[in-house]
Amino acid sequence: MAPDSAKKIKTTASSKKSAASASDSAKAKTQKLSVSNVARKRRTVKSASPLKSEKKIVSETSFVSDTLKPEQEAEEKIIFDTKRKYIEAVGRRKNAVARVRLFTHNKKGVEINGKPLQEYFQDIILQKTVLAPLEKLKCQDKFSVVVKVKGGGFCGQAEAIRHAIARTLLSLNPYFKKRLKKSGYLTRDPRMRERKKFGLKRARRAPQWSKR
C-alpha cells in the first residue's frame, strides 16, 4: 500500500503544479492583453490628436473666411448697387419722427428740412450723432441723405435721424447689421419723458418742505 500512496501524492502534486502554471499563464496573458489595450488606446489618442487640431484649424479658417466675405461683398454692393434711386426708412426717438432718404447718385451731404446739417444742428455733438452710422461704416462720402424730421427737441431729432440712417444702411446691405447693432444704432430707444405728477413740481421733484 505504501507505493500506491506515494504515487497518489506524486499525482496530486503534479496536478497542483500544472494548475498553478495554468493560472500563472492565464494571468500573464491577461496582463499582456491589458498592456496591449493601453498601447492601442495611446496610439489612437496620438493619431486622433492631429486630426482634432486639423479640425480646429479648418473651423478657424472657415470662420475667418466667413468674416472676411461679408465686407468684400458689402463694398461691391455699395459700389455697384444702381437699381434703386433711393432707400427710405423711418427712425424715432422720444416724440421725434425722422424720415430719411438715402441717395447713391446725387451730390454728397446731409440735408435736414431743406437746410444743411451744419446749419440745422449747430452743436458739433449733435452733428456727430447724425453722422455716426455713416462714419462707423466709413461711407460718409458715398451717399447723400435727405431728412424730414418733426416733433421733439434737437437731441431727440438727432437720435431719430441716426436711427433712420442706420435702417437705410441695413436695407441697402444686410451685412452691415452686425456692426450697426453692436454700436446700438438699430435699436429703438424706448425711454420717454416721465409725466408730471399732481402735488409735485415735476415728475419727481417735490416742493420744498420745512418742518416749522
Q: What is the CATH number of the domain that holds 156?
A: 3.30.230.10
Cell 491577461 belongs to which residue?
30
Which residue has better confidence, 45 or 206? Answer: 206
Together in a domain, 37 and 67: yes
Together in a domain, 34 and 119: no
Together in a domain, 58 and 116: no
Together in a domain, 50 and 129: no
Which residue has better confidence, 101 or 3? Answer: 101
Cα–Cα distance measured from residue 102 to residue 128, given in angstroms and rounded to the nearest whole number? 18
In the predicted structure, residue 156 carries a pLDDT above the cut 70: yes
Average pLDDT over residues 91-96: 96
Together in a domain, 128 and 47: no
Together in a domain, 75 and 94: no
- Grid coordinates representing 59 are 473651423
Model pLDDT, residue 72: 45
Together in a domain, 62 and 33: yes
Model pLDDT, residue 142: 87
Average pLDDT over residues 168-197: 94
Residue 149's DSSP bridge partners are 98
From 33, 48, 80, give the residue that closes a domain.
80
Residue 7 is assigned to a structural domain of this protein: no
Tally of domains within the chain: 2
Together in a domain, 62 and 94: no
Cα–Cα distance measured from residue 201 to residue 110, given in angstroms and rounded to the nearest whole number? 40
**Structural domain span for residue 170:** 86-183
For 42-143, where are the E strands, in sequence order?
A: 86-93, 96-103, 109-112, 115-116
Together in a domain, 55 and 94: no
Average the pLDDT over each of 39-53, 65-79, 104-118 and give the range with the smallest value: 65-79
Mean pLDDT of the chain: 76
- Confirm if 129 and 159 have CB atoms less than 8 A apart: yes
- How far are the Cα atoms of 28, 37, 53 from residue 40, in angstroms, in the given order? 18, 5, 20
Together in a domain, 106 and 166: yes
Model pLDDT, residue 112: 96
Among residues 154, 181, 163, which one has the least CA distance to residue 98? Answer: 163
Model pLDDT, residue 196: 97
Residue 211 is assigned to a structural domain of this protein: no
- Grid coordinates representing 53 are 487640431
In the predicted structure, residue 70 carries a pLDDT above the cut 60: no
Average the pLDDT over each of 31-40, 111-120, 144-153, 154-163 and give the range with the smallest value: 31-40
> DSSP per residue over 140-174, as a string?
TTS-EEEEEEESS-HHHHHHHHHHHHHHHHHHH-G
Residue 197 is assigned to a structural domain of this protein: no
Together in a domain, 131 and 155: yes
Residue 47 is assigned to a structural domain of this protein: yes
Cα–Cα distance measured from residue 27 to residue 33, given in angstroms and rounded to the nearest whole number? 10
Residue 54 is assigned to a structural domain of this protein: yes
Together in a domain, 177 and 130: yes
Average pLDDT over residues 30-43: 59
Global pTM exceeds 0.85: no
For the chain, where are the E strands, in sequence order?
A: 86-93, 96-103, 109-112, 115-116, 144-150
Average pLDDT over residues 163-177: 94
Model pLDDT, residue 50: 45
In the predicted structure, residue 165 carries a pLDDT above the cut 70: yes
